[in-house]
Amino acid sequence: MAFWQPKLELMERSELEELQLRRLRKTVEQVYRNVPFYHRKMTEMGITPHDINSLKDVEKLPTTRKTDLRDNYPFGLFAVPREEIVRVHASSGTTGKPTVVGYTKRDIETWSDLMARDFVMVGVTRNDIFQNAVNYGFFTGGLGVHYGIERMGAMAVPSGTGNTERQLEIMADFGVTVIHCTPSYALYLAETAKAKGIMDKLKLRIGCFGAEPWSDEARQELEEAFGIKAYDSYGLSEMFGPGVAFECQEQNGLHIWEDHFLVEILDGDGNPCAPGERGELVLTSLTKEAMPLIRYRTGDVTYLMEDGCSCGRTSRKLHRFLGRADDMLVVRGINVFPSQIEDVLLSIPEIGDYFQVIVDRKHHGLDELTIQVEMKDEAFTGELADLARLQKKVEERLKAVLNIRSKVELVEKGSIPRTAGKSKKVVDLRRT
């Protein structure tokens, strides 16, 4: 069995916790000294870095939410001078303003090692040809994964997104053996390859999939279609990006790299959950220089699995994610909040108060976002051209905010079912 950083991956629990405490104290000192937001929060709570003497003392510290990133847009949470920032990434927020994260040179190196660690763990070697079929740019999955591939020495094929037939042509012609993309896109690739009769030309053996929820049934379908082992991954831009946690070859829970992240699972009241009890994943950066976050509320629901794994790694495992603590949807790897949609719709005079978001995976295994929107009575002229113009207007405004295309269906007032006076805003058919 191969390891990228065996000393860290196989570290005894007591030694790991000593390392975590050293890094936690350093991080708390860093944000207290350099980030006004944290200095103010800690001062209000009567806390200083000297109060952190054990890992349990993390509970004394303030929590951080996505709204805090937006409130300090763009660079207010940076803990180093701006000239030390070598890269920024961004993700969408509920108001359309992105949440911005920064990286120092060392952060990029740390992140690359995390990704290399993940890939070696699932059996990727220097002999592999690794196709990275996700969006490059602000989305962390592109460059984050790319640097990890190069770090561990496999051949990187930065195919990006779109043009499915070209993706498959590259896969066949280059002899690609490992692919990274969203699971829904992988299902579409498999369907297209079957339809074109080229599945026997592919040499895939490993698939790394993430950025959206997927089921055990989807894993089985992908493994059978491509003849691969399909691995789940977890990441979030606030904590580097992809690579925060990853399945090993046991495919039973995701190892979360505790030398880089201090893990808490909290209930709805913010209290620690008992072992095996589901709750919200809360993470504290231990090695991030540019923008370390303290007790970041990820919104993702999971639980810590029992200690120990036959792969030998000592970092604990998270159960595959069970949903969200908030109302966020993940559609084709993009975070979508119903409140974002509502903000857009309320800004359009012809639109009424009720809407319904329907997410499905009908065609080609790809997520489809449909938004049913009630019109105001006075907006309904009966002219098809007027309806078409309004539909296009709503779709364009939503795409500008969501960064994903949606289908808008205009319906008459009263069409959307009311429940106790309110409509059910989200119907996620992927879970049924």
E strand or H helix at 208, and its extent?
Answer: strand 206-209
Note whether 182 and 284 are same-domain residues. yes
Confidence at residue 337, expressed as pLDDT on a 0 to 100 scale = 78
E strand or H helix at 100, and its extent?
Answer: strand 99-103
Query: If pLDDT is split at 50, 70 and 90, which confidence band does 422 have?
Result: very low
Query: If pLDDT is split at 50, 70 and 90, which confidence band does 336 have?
Result: confident
Confidence at residue 381, expressed as pLDDT on a 0 to 100 scale = 81
Tell me the sheet residues that pair with 138. Answer: none
Note whether 239 and 158 are same-domain residues. yes
CATH number at residue 395: 3.30.300.30
Query: If pLDDT is split at 50, 70 and 90, which confidence band does 333 have?
Result: confident
Query: If pLDDT is split at 50, 70 and 90, which confidence band does 192 have?
Result: very high
Question: What 3-state DSSP class applies to 365?
Answer: coil
Domain extent, residue 378, equals 334-431
Confidence at residue 366, expressed as pLDDT on a 0 to 100 scale = 81
Note whether 319 and 344 are same-domain residues. no
Give 22-43 as a DSSP string: HHHHHHHHHHHHH-HHHHHHHH
Confidence at residue 110, expressed as pLDDT on a 0 to 100 scale = 98
Indicate the burial class of 147 (C-beta count within 10 angstroms; 0-12, 13-18, 19 or more).
buried
CATH number at residue 108: 3.40.50.12780
- Is a pLDDT exceeding 70 seen at residue 144? yes
Query: Average of pLDDT values for 346-369?
Result: 84
Cα angle vertex 231, ends 320, 430, to 5°?
55
Query: Average of pLDDT values for 100-125?
Result: 98
Q: Which residue, of 264, 293, 326, is where some domain finishes?
A: 326
CB neighbours of 160 closer than 8 A, spacing ≥ 6?
132, 133, 134, 135, 136, 142
Note whether 311 and 416 are same-domain residues. no
Query: Average of pLDDT values for 29-56?
Result: 98
Confidence at residue 430, expressed as pLDDT on a 0 to 100 scale = 81
Query: Average of pLDDT values for 45-50?
Result: 98
Note whether 305 and 343 are same-domain residues. no
Tell me the sheet residues that pair with 374. Answer: 411
Q: How many angstroms separate the CA atoms of 29 and 318, rounded?
A: 28
Note whether 268 and 407 are same-domain residues. no
How many CB atoms are closer than 10 A to CB 222?
A: 24
Confidence at residue 432, expressed as pLDDT on a 0 to 100 scale = 53
If you average pLDDT over every residue of the chain, what do you get? Answer: 92
Are 231 and 210 a contacting pair, CB within 8 Å? no
Confidence at residue 287, expressed as pLDDT on a 0 to 100 scale = 98
Query: Average of pLDDT values for 340-358?
Result: 86
Note whether 113 and 232 are same-domain residues. yes
Q: How many angstroms separate the CA atoms of 340 and 328, rounded?
A: 10
Q: How many angstroms separate the CA atoms of 214 and 218, rounded?
A: 6
The residue ranking higher by pLDDT, 361 or 121, is: 121
Confidence at residue 275, expressed as pLDDT on a 0 to 100 scale = 85
Query: If pLDDT is split at 50, 70 and 90, which confidence band does 363 have?
Result: low
Q: Which residue, of 326, 353, 374, is where some domain finishes?
A: 326
Query: Average of pLDDT values for 108-119?
Result: 98
Query: If pLDDT is split at 50, 70 and 90, which confidence band does 343 have?
Result: confident
Query: If pLDDT is split at 50, 70 and 90, which confidence band does 431 have?
Result: low
Note whether 213 and 292 are same-domain residues. yes
**What pTM value is reported for the model?**
0.82
Label the pairing between strands 129-132 and 178-181: parallel
CA dihedral 294, 298, 304, 305 (to 10 degrees): -140
Q: Is the peptide bond before 158 cis (omega within 30 degrees of 0)?
A: no
Note whether 220 and 315 are same-domain residues. yes
Closest to 89 (Cα-Cα) out of 235, 208, 207: 235
Q: Which amino acid is at 122?
A: V
Closest to 89 (Cα-Cα) out of 203, 221, 213, 236: 236
Predicted confidence (pLDDT) per residue in 410-421, tens digit:
988 878 876 433
Note whether 310 and 371 are same-domain residues. no
Range ranked top by mean pLDDT from 89-93, 186-190, 285-289, 333-337: 285-289
- Location of structure tokens 């079929």: 133
Note whether 177 and 300 are same-domain residues. yes
Report how far apart the first and last C-alpha atoms of the chain are (Å, whole number): 38
Q: Which amino acid is at 366?
A: L
Structure tokens at 201: 């030309």
Label the pairing between strands 229-236 and 206-209: parallel
Number of domains in the chain: 2
Note whether 350 and 308 are same-domain residues. no
Confidence at residue 92, expressed as pLDDT on a 0 to 100 scale = 59
Query: Average of pLDDT values for 204-228?
Result: 91
Q: Which residue, of 326, 342, 367, is where some domain finishes?
A: 326
Are 78 and 291 a contacting pair, CB within 8 Å? yes
